[in-house]
Amino acid sequence: MAYLVSLVPVSVLIGIGMLVVFRRVSNPAAIARAKSRMAAHVYEMRLFPDEPVLIWSAQWGLLRANIRYIGLMLAPALVMSIPLLAVLSALEGYYGVAPLPVGQASIVTVQLKTPWRGPAPELRAPEGIAVETPGVRLAGGRQISWRIRASRPASGSLEFRLPGETVEKSIEAAAGPRYLSSRRVSSWMDLLLHPAEAPISSTRVDWIQVRYPGNTIDAMGLQVSWLVWLLVISMITAIVLKRRFRVTF
């Protein structure tokens, strides 16, 4: 329930942000005309069920009105997509994943920019987290994975020791809500999807990932993804406040 309580104001703000974008970018008059035309063509099909020519004309008109409506909705959707993607990526680290459970194994993977030759890099974990296996090469030698296990609550950094450099990745094995970084990346483009940690400054390492368990929000007898709750609450907010913002959709 604590997750849902904190998610509600965030979802409301996202719903209001959607309304602001629609008010600035969309064409309410054109959207209203497209919706009126769709309704008119539907009524036309109901009024003249025995007139094949009129039915065909109404169906064709309905299709054109639908295409027009989707085109009008596309502009605000595209404007919202990039900032919304960044916001959702940031929220995923808090609502979408949970810390490593004590006693449960997980996998840590390093993606390299080129195939690795020679012995696997050394992985060192903070106290309370054991590295149970040596590094295993995958994907033609570009990926190296280890199995780890938390013996008690722990917080710190994994250290990947390569010849001439050490690359770190945060890790959490603790109870309660935490802001987690599932993947640390080197590319600034990937940082849009994984913004929780600073980018890796390495010529060899592309990304490092800890396989955290997925998290769900349990409220009112429902246990579903946080994205479902956010979508429902933000859409309810948008529907309730659309007249106040003079928005049509």
Average pLDDT, integer, range 120-137: 90
Give the pLDDT confidence score for residue 107 in this predicted structure: 95
Average pLDDT, integer, range 110-117: 88
Q: How confident is the model at residue 1 (pLDDT cuts 50, 70, 90)?
A: low
For residues 49 and 42, give the distance between their C-alpha atoms in angstroms, rounded to a whole number: 11
Average pLDDT over the chain reads 88
Average pLDDT, integer, range 229-246: 91
In the predicted model, is pLDDT for residue 2 greater than 70?
Answer: no
For residues 204 and 81, give the distance between their C-alpha atoms in angstroms, rounded to a whole number: 32
CB 5 within 8 A of CB 94: no
Q: pTM of the prediction?
A: 0.78
Give the pLDDT confidence score for residue 151 in this predicted structure: 92
CB 139 within 8 A of CB 207: no
For residues 13 and 16, give the distance between their C-alpha atoms in angstroms, rounded to a whole number: 5
Average pLDDT, integer, range 229-248: 90
CB 15 within 8 A of CB 233: yes
Mind listing the pLDDT tens digit for each residue in 29-67? 888 898 899 889 888 888 877 777 888 888 898 899 899
Mind listing the pLDDT tens digit for each residue in 158-208? 999 988 889 999 999 977 778 899 999 998 888 888 998 999 998 889 999
Give the pLDDT confidence score for residue 160 in this predicted structure: 92
Give the pLDDT confidence score for residue 206 in this predicted structure: 94
In the predicted model, is pLDDT for residue 114 greater than 90?
Answer: no
CB 28 within 8 A of CB 246: yes
- Chain centre to alpha carbon of residue 137: 29
For residues 89 and 99, give the distance between their C-alpha atoms in angstroms, rounded to a whole number: 17
